[in-house]
A and B are shown apart, each in its own frame.
Chain A
Amino acid sequence: MLLQIKNLHAGINGKEILRGVNLEVNKGEVHAIMGPNGTGKSTLASVIAGREVFDVTAGEILYKGKNLEALSIEDRAREGIFLGFQYPVEIPGVSITNFLRTAVNEIRKFKGLDPLPGGDFLRLMEEKKRLVEITSNLTNRSVNEGFSGGEKKKNEIFQMAMLEPMLAILDETDSGLDIDALRIVANGVNKLRRPDNAFVVITHYQRLLDYIVPDFVHVLFEGKIVKSGGKELAIELEEKGYDWIKKEQEA
């Protein structure tokens, strides 16, 4: 099992957001997490990534069988956890090339590998750029600076392709995308699917799941996964909205 979340409680500034999340993800699987706004989807993603502003108050996250609690943000990343940001951060003055070369080589160092030679690195960049249909020389620009919404999201998938994570969590990668960008992002993800990795796709709408077909769909509501099913659950949610889930919970 790649990821096992047991009874996870977490919050920020004393306010509890996750109230007992349970989730199991195996290699080769794609999970979708859906749910209304403000139910803790992004918090769950951040907590798995190790973001320090959130406090885990109970429960645990096991990744490859190991408790993540003591691992820093960067060590989780180096172990293969990737978070695609809902709002990718602009970093003026740091070129994408420099940024990714640093990331790739720090991950290699962690694994006891030598830095990737410059030529090999540039070839890798070109190959992965094609995967997400980046044609401009985006890579000479500062990370996300002045990018359109679509470019930012494509850049997230490009980075994921470069870093080849074991577990990729995509936090509302579809938000703000037009249909062409959505297709490119989804294609990128589909090409990166392998039997030994897994994806957790957080989304508000079913639309993305037409392109990235999930094995499991979970509904996160008020800090808990209240319903799980196959891809048909997403279609049901699309048709009925979230109100019936709310009513079920209240009942």
Chain B
Amino acid sequence: MQTEHNEIISKARLIGLFEKNRKLLVRNDTKFLAVKRDKAFASFVELGFPDTSLEAWSLTDLEECLARGYDYHLHPMKEMDIQKVFRCNIPHLDTAVIGQLNGWYVSKDVPLMKLGNGIIMGSLAEARKTYPQLIEKYYGTMADDMAEGLTALNTAFAQDGVFIYVPDHVKSPRPVQLINVIHHGENLFLQPRNLIVVGANAKLSLVHCDDSYNHQASFSNIVTEVHVGAHGVLDHYKLQNLNNESTLVSSVYFRLEEAANLESHYISLNGGMLRNNIRLLFNGPHGNANIYGIYLMDGRQHVDNQVFVDHAHPGCTSHEMFKGILDEHAHAIFNGHVLVRRDAVKTDARQTNKNILLTDTARVNSKPFLEIYNDDVKCSHGSTTGQLDTESMFYMRQRGIGEDTARMLLMFAFADEIVSKIAIPQLRQRIEDMVKKRLQGELQICEQCVLHCSSPEHPVEFQIDMSKILA
């Protein structure tokens, strides 16, 4: 059976599904990858889905999300015409666009391309076949299948996703935009798997968008592995604008080699249940990572950012700054954990989490945490949660600015500390617009943020602009 319909997602169902379809899943695996897959499966059998008895999941309960029925597709869905264009309408934003529809790489007839400068990008499934050695070198070396049930599950079932490889010393001339769209007539359970490799002294800007285009429920269990080689630079953006019926567990595993540089921006505008597992390992000295997050939640939306930074080598710097505005009954969780190992002298680690609660019913659980095993370090952490400042409100209104506008200006200013860090000017402008609209309650999930789209009620054709892809 290749498609399972609308059933509750349970450990037993997935074990059954794996056992029945193992042959299909390992079809394109090298022996090495097949072993990895089987090990991951065994680990999932052991760990199962995370539940609230685990400390890292104590405030995010997936049970209700899993209990909704979902379809599980083991083949790409052919129902949509993907011959046309995924078009990004951010004016003058020149990106190479890679599309994923329901977790599957979308292409006309070029599932994987190698550009003149050696950059490879396209379908991970295809890359497994075409570049098995390259894949074996990196795939599964960052994600931890033994510790996280959901990561193990993803590895066990991983079929497709995106692969990007920037060879040593190559600087990608323009940002790559990875658009992951969920659009299907039934509830969907999907498990894309991405692998991003930025070589030594190489450079990449990656804009990674998760969007949904109708109001159907979905559960995405996405695992992304990111390797940044020595002196490599990655500018990474994660945009999340999903409908209220979506559950998204996004686990990103970063590995930074010596003096590698990462800027990562998590921008969560909408989503029913969002969980970001961000795990970063400094795998060499003098690395630098800035991780920024902004989340704007309302209704009964839930966002949970778990950031773990492993300072395993000396002289690395990590700065985390997560800010959120929560309205109505929204709930946000921030758990920052910085581990400074014994040898990691001259570590500079900072964690900041700031929240504004607009109602009495919105909630925040914030826990920045430092675990330090040497004393030659500079570490700090802080967390604040409060209402909009009444002094500022009075001051602005006294100048003739209406109460609603004053509130907007203050919220926007609060968010802008994060948004202003976006290095791509056109993207920054668009995100500023989206944040404004979001704060005014005008941003819909069909907002023309990344794709051309009319409204979620209208059938949407997903289209790939091949001229953009074949750079």
* Contact surface of A with B, Cβ cutoff 8 Å: 49, 51-53, 72-74, 77-78, 82-83, 85, 88-89, 91-94, 98-100, 102-104, 106-107, 110, 142, 159, 163
Contact = CB atoms under 8 A, between A and B. Distances in A.
**Interface of chain B, main secondary structure:** helix
Contacts of B405: 102, 106
Interface stretch (B45-53, B98-106, B279-287, B390-398): B390-398
Interface residues of B, number: 23
A106 B396 CA distance: 11
A72 B400 contact: no
Contacts of B406: 74
Given A74-B403, A89-B391, A83 B398 contact: yes
Interface in B412-441: 412-414, 416-417
Given A72-B403, A74-B403, A102-B405, A94 B410 contact: yes
B400 A91 contact: no
B398 A73 contact: yes
Nearest to A73: B397
B82 to A, nearest CB: 42
Interface in B357-412: 389-392, 394-403, 405-406, 409-410, 412
Contact of A49 (B389, B398, B401, B409): B398
21 contacts: A51-B394, A52-B394, A74-B397, A74-B406, A78-B400, A85-B398, A89-B389, A89-B391, A89-B392, A91-B410, A93-B417, A94-B410, A99-B399, A99-B401, A103-B396, A103-B401, A106-B400, A106-B402, A159-B399, A163-B399, A163-B400
A105 to B, nearest CB: 9
A91 B395 contact: yes
A73 B413 contact: no
Contacts of B403: 72-74
B30 to A, nearest CB: 51
Contact of B401 (A53, A83, A102, A142): A102
Contact of A94 (B391, B394, B409): B409
Contacts of A49: 394, 398
B413 A72 contact: no
Nearest to A89: B395
Given A103-B400, A110-B400, A93 B414 contact: yes
Contact of B400 (A77, A85, A92): A77
A217 B211 CA distance: 65
Nearest to A143: B395
B399 A103 contact: yes
Contacts of B417: 92-93
Nearest to B413: A93
Given A74-B400, A74-B403, A93-B413, 11 more contacts: A73-B397, A74-B401, A74-B406, A77-B397, A78-B400, A85-B398, A89-B394, A94-B410, A104-B400, A106-B402, A110-B400
B410 A107 contact: no
Contacts of A92: 413, 417
A82 B390 CA distance: 18
Given A92-B413, A94-B409, A102-B409, A85 B401 contact: no
Nearest to A108: B400
Contact of A74 (B402, B413, B414, B416): B402
Find the residue from A49, A78, A88, A91 having the highest chain B CB count within 10 A. Answer: A91
Give 9 closest A-B pairs by Cβ, nearest first: A93-B413, A77-B400, A73-B397, A89-B395, A103-B399, A107-B400, A74-B397, A94-B413, A78-B400
A36 B394 CA distance: 25
B401 A106 contact: yes
A93 B416 contact: yes
B325 to A, nearest CB: 13
B2 to A, nearest CB: 52
